[in-house]
Structure 1
């Protein structure tokens, strides 16, 4: 990428210190990266898939060798506790290793023809140049989640990490160069989405765009790609309901609800965003949940704490505004958290856990994706009521249900309109599963064989030898 006089400062959200200054990329930089990827793609696709898989596996090995430094980098630029950053680097390796294992699974079909002396061959081919746009909440893992299958499938890749957390993507690119992945196969552009991202999406040089981020950003990408009928995969926002019935294991449900609400300071698209609690257990559940929320430790993410800071002041203030609007709309405050900005918290973007209770399913904290350490609860009287309230949303990414009633568990996949269900467990996808959203939560999906197939397009050949 060429030099540019404009720069972006990368901030440590715990201290507000500047970690690094990176180039603010231009439209020309984006085009240069796309041309580099386009030039490298034919030779990369011509390699046997097993060789592409070996290269991706070598990158996973190099990440494992450097995992301490990479985890520290994630913690510093994103703000998650160091232990959770290590988990992210572990996931980064897992995504790449699973992708590498798919090198021998690029398969087609031979279909019987209606004609004599003829076969119908359905083959899978790479798209060409893939653009990956990733969010700031998991800057390393989200990049690897897209990079691995794209490369193994025979595509080349251009990555734009969110400008708040670009350092992890740059580190991955440096390691890919170190293990010998050819120049142009994996490219990173730094800059802002409205300039670099829009150029990458609108360019005729990119064949597939895969993005993880907000629903608003996904809508903009959808519009920007329309003129070229661009193939897009969008993993967008969520508003996961967390249903707890009267026969549930309450301690297990509370533990899962705490983890699903507060991990990464609530900055996960599959987070527990709204709790629907059967009236028969609501008091017990809320007493235990509020106490567990109070017990969480908040502080320097390089120390052993439960919660680090929000990623930015803007994101912190956005969450505080949703809480204020919800209280003004009648929510009862069970635990008053909010902004921490004195003493040890004078620097950084800190939020303490807040717990609200409401009877209003239109409350801002119920309707809008909070993406922060705020839990909202409603009491329900039946499973049917819980399902109706849970489905009353534009989002359709994930949902939770805790019950020991097998009939309810069996019915849940037919009744809950979400792409991913967690039944009697907390969140966390398996690499061999399929992470997909319905409705305004996106289209396409990641992981497993279905996710890998998204990086390949099909071609039908009618082979007649008569």
Structure 2
């Protein structure tokens, strides 16, 4: 059974504080817990512990570190249902999605438990008969990790697993909206018997905790997932120490449907992606470009599927839960109102759900808009809500221009049967990830990340290990 979740973990020990903050269930508006509000003192203690633990953890064999990770994955799967309930209560997503997130976290951890055994160096030809050149790859050191609220379980696994597999130690700061799932997942890691101080979790004031992590020279690496605005601030802070940083930031992903596409397949994939996690997904579809020849047919297929989506408390058998907060609802309302004022038509939804079971929660109706144009705010900003805006286009050049002019460059999707077009579009889209005839991008073995203002660095694949390793070059001169 999981323990109570009103504490932090520092150096393998529980830490409780008198000062706490509330955790709110977005489906009901009810307070479900009080979590410690840590700050500079607690963060320093966590860094102390991680720094001390690094000396021994980094010297363990890859196989030994792998053993802890594999046990962690087992623990997550054994406690999947209870962890999923914790996740749903504080984040809002349906239990089916929450269970999938826990399972995906375990899969990611298992992958890195094995990939950590394949951290290789190089032997390079010398420039003289006496010279021998070797390249070692060594763990960076203490890593600060700042995770978001939209996938609060998966993001812990995606960051901590490669860091630990590489020999780094961790100080984790979870999102204030979703600290309980982070505490619960770290408890499952500590239950493996992993040495104290290897992984620490500090909850509380994000500005103070973040500032402390950046100012401490012992923290050699920061991994952050969140908004582009905050990411830019963190880059400035990292500059003071030239601290290594990886950033997974905002997205504005288009999906482009060409006339030769399988429209049923496209509509099914688009609705599944667009409305997953109530539209709160960084690599989720933001805008839908339908070719003018199939715009009406595709719109009808999307609308019919959206009309079947059930909205409610994530504990019930629904497809959509609430948004994470009232502020999130307000942001969606503003974007939809802006589009309406500029000529968009609402085919489905278009308003907050307030009556009956929805009265106390942060619910917004699944929405489809047509006659959307590029001067509308929702084509420039992340909607981060259950709203599908449909635009029309005439040729490849126009949609590629949208991608190239877009400040974000995380992901893009398109549907076509033309192999020549596949290569033209995949190479021409100015993003870090491209989905062709499908929308699944987040898998353990592939490099997840973006370009431009969507960030830097990658999570997943052997590329994800590189984020936590330093390259050391050794030149040896042989003596007679």
Sort the TM-score into its range (normalised by shorter chain): over 0.9
1:253 alignment counterpart: 266
SS across alignment from 1:260: helix
Give the whole-Å Cα distance in 2 for the aligned partners of 1:39 and 1:306.
46
State the Cα deviation string for residues 261-307 of structure 1 (Å, max 9, x = none): 00100011111100111000000001111121111000121111100
Q: Does 1:105 align with 2:118?
A: yes
Superposed, which structure 2 residues align to 1:361-372 within 5 Å? 361-372=374-385
Normalising by the residue count of structure 1, what TM-score does the alignment of the two structures yield? 0.98
> Which residue of the other structure, out of 65, 89, 94, is the alignment partner of 1:76?
89
Alignment root-mean-square deviation, CA:
1.2
CA deviation after TM superposition for structure 1 residue 326, in Å: 2.0
> Which residue of the other structure, out of 410, 416, 422, is the alignment partner of 1:397?
410
Give the whole-Å Cα distance in 2 for the aligned partners of 1:397 and 1:338.
28
Give the whole-Å Cα distance in 1 for the aligned partners of 2:205 and 2:271.
34
Superposed, which structure 2 residues align to 1:178-193 within 5 Å? 178-193=191-206
CA deviation after TM superposition for structure 1 residue 359, in Å: 5.0
> Which residue of the other structure, out of 242, 261, 276, is the alignment partner of 1:229?
242
1:375 alignment counterpart: 388
Runs of 4+ in 1 over 3 A off after TM superposition: 1-5
> Which residue of the other structure, out of 129, 133, 148, is the alignment partner of 1:116?
129
User: Given that residues 434 and 446 in structure 1 are in contact (C-alpha distance below 8 angstroms), is that contact kept between their aligned partners in structure 2?
Assistant: yes
Q: Does 1:308 align with 2:321?
A: yes
> Which residue of the other structure, out of 109, 113, 124, is the alignment partner of 1:96?
109
CA deviation after TM superposition for structure 1 residue 118, in Å: 1.4
Q: 5+ unaligned residues in a row in structure 1: which ranges?
A: none
CA deviation after TM superposition for structure 1 residue 379, in Å: 0.7
User: Given that residues 146 and 210 in structure 1 are in contact (C-alpha distance below 8 angstroms), is that contact kept between their aligned partners in structure 2?
Assistant: yes
1:449 alignment counterpart: 462
State the Cα deviation string for residues 184-237 of structure 1 (Å, max 9, x = none): 000000013211122212321210000111111111111111111110000011
Superposed, which structure 2 residues align to 1:203-218 within 5 Å? 203-218=216-231
> Which residue of the other structure, out of 400, 421, 436, is the alignment partner of 1:387?
400
2:5 alignment counterpart: none
Give the whole-Å Cα distance in 2 for the aligned partners of 1:194 and 1:5.
20
CA deviation after TM superposition for structure 1 residue 7, in Å: 1.2
SS across alignment from 1:89: helix
Superposed, which structure 2 residues align to 1:13-412 within 5 Å? 13-358=26-371, 360-412=373-425
Give the whole-Å Cα distance in 2 for the aligned partners of 1:155 and 1:201.
17
Give the whole-Å Cα distance in 2 for the aligned partners of 1:159 and 1:275.
36
CA deviation after TM superposition for structure 1 residue 250, in Å: 0.3
CA deviation after TM superposition for structure 1 residue 333, in Å: 2.0
SS across alignment from 2:364: strand
Give the whole-Å Cα distance in 2 for the aligned partners of 1:338 and 1:198.
39
